[in-house]
Chain A
Amino acid sequence: MSDQQLLEIVKNALIKSPWVSHLNCGSCNGCDIEILAVLTPRYDVERFGIKLKGSPRHADVLLCTGSVTRSMAPRLKRIYNQMADPKFVVAVGSCATNWGVFHNCYNTLGGIDKVVPVAMYIPGCPPRPEAIVFGVYKLLLKLASLDLEKQEEKDSVSNLTQEPIRSEEVTT
């Protein structure tokens, strides 16, 4: 099997089984309870293979909420570094997208993208659980349409050729 075919399989598997981890970077809890609500029977994201994992090491997608506070910014960066490639960050809520209602608060930095690269933004205050599901679903659609012939898009899916790394970061 060629490298290309293998990548194709990996890509498909990733789309069918994104495990998410959740991080509150200083939000009001509104988005957090809606993220928890997507697991529950009414919305049940397990039918898409989405699982909420406690350990960022196991996760593929990091759901971040809230405008990043000055205390959480280094922790967010560190948790992002702990995750294994391929990894994606989704900003949930208006304050995670673009500062939102906290733009006057001195101890906040702004959207998640000021600290780590963001793959998908889900505006809403808070977004409905369906909107969160839709956001993750749209991220997967974006992955599915990646053209693996191109090097940079190939890199974003997998690091198959990469040797296992030793992280300087330890789990908090």
Chain B
Amino acid sequence: MTSLIGYLSASKQALKNLFSKPVTVMFPAEHVSLPKGYRGTPVLIPEKCTLCMKCERVCPTGAILIEKLDKKNGYFTIDIGKCCYCQECEKACNFDAIHLIDKWLTASDNKEDFVTKHFVQRNGKKKEE
């Protein structure tokens, strides 16, 4: 009564909502569709990598770490617990070796789960640790 006009303008919508289906997406039961080009988890394709260090230099967070054993071999580490998902590494890579895929449900109780370490051998076979 104190705000009858105000009530009327909002109450129409409220009553409509009451008898209509909620807009809630029933995650996790319902599938959530991601748009094309979503910047998700960065993933390395070790066969293509040439250990050129370009992505490590460009990474703003230090999520990419390359340890070179010698000229041809090395370890390539990605820590998504540090990553800021800026896609600079994908842009910098001349060999299409690193991609941001649409994987995004990555929560874990162990920080080590976020670290993926690849053994990279230029022109060689892939070996994963």
CB of A134 within 8 A of CB of B105, answer yes
Among the 9-residue stretches B3-11, B50-58, B67-75, B107-115, the one with 4 or more Cβ atoms under 8 Å from chain A is B107-115
Q: Per a CB cutoff under 8 Å, which of B24, B61, B82, B106 touches A131?
A: B106
CB of B124 within 8 A of chain A?
no
Cα–Cα, bound, A121→B81 (Å)? 8
Closest Cβ of chain B to A105, distance in Å, is 12
1/0 per residue A12-50: CB within 8 Å of B? 000000000000000000000000000001111001000
Contacts A101-B60, A137-B28 supplied; 17 other A-B pairs, CB < 8 Å: A43-B25, A43-B27, A47-B26, A94-B61, A94-B80, A94-B84, A98-B114, A100-B81, A120-B108, A121-B108, A121-B110, A121-B111, A122-B107, A123-B83, A128-B104, A133-B28, A134-B27
CB of B85 within 8 A of CB of A121, answer no
Residue of A nearest to B39 (CB): A125
Cβ of A98: which chain B residues have Cβ within 8 Å of it? 79, 81-82, 111, 114
CB of A42 within 8 A of CB of B24, answer yes
CB of B22 within 8 A of CB of A44, answer yes
5 smallest CB-CB distances across A and B, nearest first, come from A135-B107, A98-B81, A97-B81, A125-B84, A122-B107
> Interface extent on A, as a size class?
20 to 34
Given the known interface contacts A124-B106, A127-B104, the answer about A101 and B85 at a Cβ–Cβ threshold of 8 Å is no
Cα–Cα, bound, A120→B108 (Å)? 6
1/0 per residue B82-115: CB within 8 Å of A? 1111000000000000000000111111110010
